[in-house]
Amino acid sequence: MVVGLDQYLEQVRDVLRPGTRVLSSGLGAEEARARAAVAEAAAGRAVALIGSGDAGVYAMASPALEYADERIDVVGVPGVTAALAAGALLGAPLGHDHAYLSLSDLHTPWDVIERRVTAAAEGDFVTLFYNPRSRARDWQLGKALGILATHRSPDTPVGVVRNASRPGERVHLATLATLDPAIVDMYSVVVVGSSDTRLVAGRMVTPRGYRWRS
Amino acid sequence: MVVGLDQYLEQVRDVLRPGTRVLSSGLGAEEARARAAVAEAAAGRAVALIGSGDAGVYAMASPALEYADERIDVVGVPGVTAALAAGALLGAPLGHDHAYLSLSDLHTPWDVIERRVTAAAEGDFVTLFYNPRSRARDWQLGKALGILATHRSPDTPVGVVRNASRPGERVHLATLATLDPAIVDMYSVVVVGSSDTRLVAGRMVTPRGYRWRS
């Protein structure tokens, strides 16, 4: 059987064999979906818990494995997470050290998030924001960019990719000084360069070394 | 034509069309390989610059795009970087905020690397080490783990995956207190948990929230 978010199940429905049982649920039901997948596996069924991107990155692998015990065999299938799809579209922003941060304070209090943004700024990591902004969370991205701006030049390149590898894919390049957070939504990933990241021929590039070659 | 490291070209040789030109070079010739690929493209050829994992993550996309200018069309093809392959084998260590760090001081001086390890420790990021250890660089990993250990419990799970998704793949689980750096080599990626990462049924899991559910 196949368990997943309704919109992802729509994307694979044509490759399912006739008779495959499908358990679909809507956004926000992650816990229930993980529990259901594990319960079905514990009952002896072969279960595919599906997602988009990589199931291990801010996704369903964690809640499922919190519930799974030794009786269940689990095979993780890695995928292309949004940051890698976005990186390939922007150029090579992830060529050197980088940090992934979720700006969702649904599960994490803001002071923990702010401490992490500050650490990413102090470490001069290229910084990736997942869940950067939604209608209900409209100030966190601006605040996070403000923290990075105290450690990096206003000219630091920032890339925003919406719907990476999906219909409606859109790439936007700006800088820490010029990015308007209002163009960012929950379908976007935001990539802020380190102090070494440059625009080269319109592409965002972080060199492998810490300094540009002469 | 196809340009790449000799060992990766061997892996795709059976899918190349007869007559495809191949330009292969050995380890360490990254700059020359990038320049050659760009020069061939500038001369009008369709060039595939290949690598393993994701070409954008500590790999060939950066040096190639440093040399490419507006005359050349570039299409980045994202892939599964070693950390994602390793994460899927270990469980779900990348379920929340995490940082990628290279311990190679070939291009980056050690004080910059040490500052980044300290920032990753202070931010409580799950921490991924690429290029963690080689015969010539044998003390850096121990030093980096020592920095993390000043901020995290000795029981913090650490995963080492050697040859992820390749022949000879090997998974090793330890803790900050018990890991022997000597088992790590240049074909390995090292994943150090955050303060929230736990072993569940032998799998390394970082929950989506910042705290374990009761």
Each residue's pLDDT tens digit in chain A (214 positions)?
999 999 999 999 999 999 999 999 887 788 899 999 999 999 999 999 999 999 999 999 999 999 999 999 999 999 999 999 999 999 999 999 999 999 998 878 999 999 999 999 999 999 999 999 999 999 999 999 999 999 999 999 999 999 999 999 999 999 999 999 999 999 999 999 999 999 999 999 999 875 544 3
Q: Is residue A20 part of a domain?
A: yes
Q: Which residue among A62, A118, A207 places its CB closest to the CB of B207?
A: A62
**A196 close contact with B: CB closer than 8 A:** no
In the prediction, which pLDDT does A211 show? 52
- Domain match, A97 and A157 both: yes
Residue B26, pLDDT > 90, answer: no
Q: Is residue A9 part of a domain?
A: yes
In the prediction, which pLDDT does A41 show? 97
- Domain match, A18 and A103 both: no
Residue B191, pLDDT > 60, answer: yes
Determine, for residues B58 and A201 on separate chains, whether the beta-carbon distance falls below 8 Å. Answer: no
Domain that holds residue B63: 2-67
In the prediction, which pLDDT does A33 show? 93
**A158 close contact with B: CB closer than 8 A:** no
In the prediction, which pLDDT does A26 show? 82
In the prediction, which pLDDT does A28 show? 75
Query: How near does any CA of chain B get to the CA of A8, in Å?
Result: 19
- Domain match, A103 and A142 both: yes
In the prediction, which pLDDT does A214 show? 36
**CA-to-CA separations, B104 to A174, B14, B96, B114, B179, in angstroms, rounded:** 31, 33, 25, 11, 20
CATH of the domain at A174: 3.30.950.10
**B203 close contact with A: CB closer than 8 A:** yes
Q: Is residue B61 part of a domain?
A: yes
High-pLDDT (> 70) share of chain B, % = 98
Q: Is B125 left (phi over 0), alpha (psi -120 to 50) or beta?
A: beta
Per the structure, how many domains does chain B have?
Answer: 2
What type of residue sits at position B108? T
- Domain match, B132 and B175 both: yes
CATH of the domain at B14: 3.40.1010.10
Determine, for residues B116 and A124 on separate chains, whether the beta-carbon distance falls below 8 Å. Answer: yes
Query: How near does any CA of chain A get to the CA of B182, in Å?
Result: 24
Q: Is residue A62 part of a domain?
A: yes
- Domain match, A61 and A88 both: no
Q: How many CB pairs under 8 A join A and B?
A: 221
Tokens 């330890």 belong to residue:
B174
Q: Do the bridges between strand A198-200 and strand A203-205 make them parallel or antiparallel, or are there none, so unpaired?
A: antiparallel
B116: which chain A residues are within 8 Å (Cβ-Cβ)? Answer: 97, 123-125
The DSSP 8-state label assigned to residue B71 in this structure reads T
Determine, for residues B76 and A57 on separate chains, whether the beta-carbon distance falls below 8 Å. Answer: no
Q: pLDDT band at residue B210, thresholds of 50, 70 and 90?
A: low
In the prediction, which pLDDT does A209 show? 72
Residue-wise over A148-159: b if at least 16 C-beta within 10 A, else e?
Answer: bbebbeeebbbb
Q: Are B190 and B176 in contact (CB under 8 A)?
A: no
- Domain match, A87 and A60 both: no
Which of B58, B62, B212 is the mutation pick for testing A, counting most A CBs within 10 A? B62
Determine, for residues B203 and A96 on separate chains, whether the beta-carbon distance falls below 8 Å. Answer: no
Q: Are B114 and B129 in contact (CB under 8 A)?
A: no
- Domain match, A63 and A95 both: no
Among the candidates B35, B67, B99, a domain finishes at B67
- Domain match, B114 and B161 both: yes
Query: How near does any CA of chain B get to the CA of A74, in Å?
Result: 8
Q: pLDDT band at residue B208, thresholds of 50, 70 and 90?
A: confident
Residues 55-114 in A contacting B (C-alpha not used; CB under 8 Å): 55-59, 61-66, 68-70, 72, 74, 76-81, 84-85, 87-89, 91-102, 107-109, 112
ipTM: 0.95
pLDDT, mean of residues B106-130: 95
Q: What residue of A is the nearest CA neighbor of B53?
A: A80
Residue B53, pLDDT > 80, answer: yes
Residue B211, pLDDT > 60, answer: no
In the prediction, which pLDDT does A145 show? 98
Q: What residue of A is the nearest CA neighbor of B69?
A: A201
- Domain match, A63 and A101 both: no
- Domain match, A96 and A187 both: yes
Q: Do the bridges between strand B22-25 and strand B2-5 make them parallel or antiparallel, or are there none, so unpaired?
A: parallel
Determine, for residues A201 and B100 on separate chains, whether the beta-carbon distance falls below 8 Å. Answer: no
In the prediction, which pLDDT does B81 show? 98
In the prediction, which pLDDT does A201 show? 97
- Domain match, A165 and A90 both: yes
Q: What residue of B is the nearest CA neighbor of A85?
A: B78
Q: Which residue among B55, B65, B77 places its CB closest to the CB of A203?
A: B65
**A120 close contact with B: CB closer than 8 A:** yes
